Amino acid sequence: MVKVELLLYLIVALMILRVGGEGASLRIEMTEEELRREADRVMGLPGQPPVEFKQYAGYVTVNETHGRALFYWFFEATKNPHNKPLLLWLNGGPGCSSVGYGEAEELGPFFPQKGKPELKFNPHTWNKAANLLFVESPVGVGFSYTNTSRDLKELGDSITAKDSYAFLVNWLRRFPQFKSHDFYIAGESYAGHYVPQLSELIFDNNKLVPKEDYINFKGFMIGNALMDDETDQRGMIDYAWDHAVISDGLYHDIKTTCNFSVSKPSNSCNTFLDKYFDVYSIIDMYSLYTSTCPDSNFSTTPHHVPVIRGLAPLLFSHFDGWHKRPTGYDPCASDYTEVYMNRPDVQKALHANTTGIPYPWTHCRSDNTTSWGDAPASMLPTLNKLIAGGVRVWVYSGDTDGRIPVTATRYTLKKLGLNIIQDWTPWYTDNKQVGGWTIEYEGLVFVTVRGAGHQVPTFKPKQALQLLAHFLANHSLPSSPY
């Protein structure tokens, strides 16, 4: 296998190519960004199965003055990458890694395994449908860093969107072959803020920027997404009662004492919400019907869960239970990922941690989100603006998630006030099973995924890939068995 260092050296040397005749010579020169792109090429990862597609990883500077840089991992499509769209995936938190969750446990090509140094190839990887880009955002998350420590105390929705936009502009300068491709964004959970906010920034800036920085943005898709404080919180309680998680009495007490439109609960509301969150210390809030991981650093028990504060909804943000990190279908999958990503040989292969970050890689960073600066109570105005602007918007919901449950999403979408074109309709998988239900609104499509938890691609990988393919093609999911 060619060493990355040797490859970079050969490129930097510019490989003067001599041709005959009268001693003429042809000098093949590469731009600075082309050199950086080739330096980012991942020639192979420890334990990686053989693949034919190219992958790249490294850093893109988003603020030269402060020394802020975001870490990315990019996979070309498995086939015909020149004809496939470009898709950016964002996980939420805020403060959680899109590499750790999205790539390594949900929809990327490679999954770490229990007790094995090898990676497992994901047969339902989303780079079967698109060129797939992951970025760890904001700074302080994963391998992304800043040389200005005060940046970590000034994080919030606005700076995250601005840095993500700067990342995209600079990344496309490094990979100009993808500038003309249709561009989409997808994400889950707190990406219900990240994705619409970044989309709005692209939408607005596309009207102002020079041609070379125009992004061919077409639409976005968000799953089990935090979108509106009031409906997200009300929906959590209603879902818990409807799914036999809390008693009739506790449900009544919460509904009669808690005002989901305020930021600070009353003392009596606090008492009842404590009892509500106690339930999720013994079952997985993110997937009601799957097991938790015993004796794990990623267990759902409160003793093992770091609190990520400062995020909407404001009322529930006071409770540790709201901040529990998700687990996947294998409830211990996050353990395997953390071990793998902290291996020095893995970090070297990924061109990661090049500045010697003084802490281990983790899925989520709680210390840099304790003072999260801005989080609008509702993303509905942004959604309405983008829908009116012709941006394609799909919202999906795994229906066994108690964190941002399907009940909350239905309340939220009803608040948008969109006209319904096609009401509650089943959609089918290729084995003639019902995959979930859809509602087609004027300007938005809502999809439920039957039996999926918070991280839909983890629990229903085949259905998630089917959902993505139909979103990218702007085709309705099949409404009858096929």
Any idea which residues carry the catalytic annotation?
A: 189, 401, 454
CA distances from 9 to 6, 30, 295, 400 (A): 5, 13, 47, 52
Give 457's strand partners. none
CB-based burial label for 65 (10 Å; 0-12, 13-18, 19+): exposed
Q: Tell me the β-bridge partners of 448.
A: 397
Contact partners, residue 221, CB within 8 Å, separation at least 6: 184, 185, 186, 393, 394, 395, 396, 467, 468, 471
β-strand partners of 41: 56
CB 364 within 8 A of CB 95: yes
Rounded CA-CA distance 303/311 in Å is 21
202: closest CA among 174, 168, 240? 168
* Burial (CB count within 10 angstroms: exposed 0-12, middle 13-18, buried 19+), residue 49: exposed
Q: What is the DSSP letter of 374?
A: -
Amino acid at 473: A
Q: What is the secondary structure of 415-439 as a DSSP string? A: HHTPPEEEEEEEEE-TTS-EEEEEE
Dihedral sign for Cα 408, 411, 416, 419, please.
positive
Measured distance CA(477)–CA(76) in Å, rounded: 25
How many Å apart are CA 442 and CA 463, to the nearest integer? Answer: 24
Contacts of 238 (CB under 8 A, 6+ apart): 407
Q: How far is CA 237 from the centre of its chain?
A: 25
Give dist(CA 356, CA 387) in Å, integer.
Answer: 43
Does residue 138 contact residue 352 with C-beta atoms inside 8 Å? no
- Helices assigned H by DSSP within 291-365: 333-341, 344-349
Specify whether the CB–CB gap between 201 and 237 falls below 8 A. Answer: no
Please return the burial class of 2, using the count of CB atoms within 10 Å of its CB with bins 0-12, 13-18 and 19+: exposed
403, two tokens:
């964190």
Residue 26 CA to residue 238 CA, distance in Å, equals 71
Residues 253 and 272 sit within 8 Å (Cβ to Cβ): yes
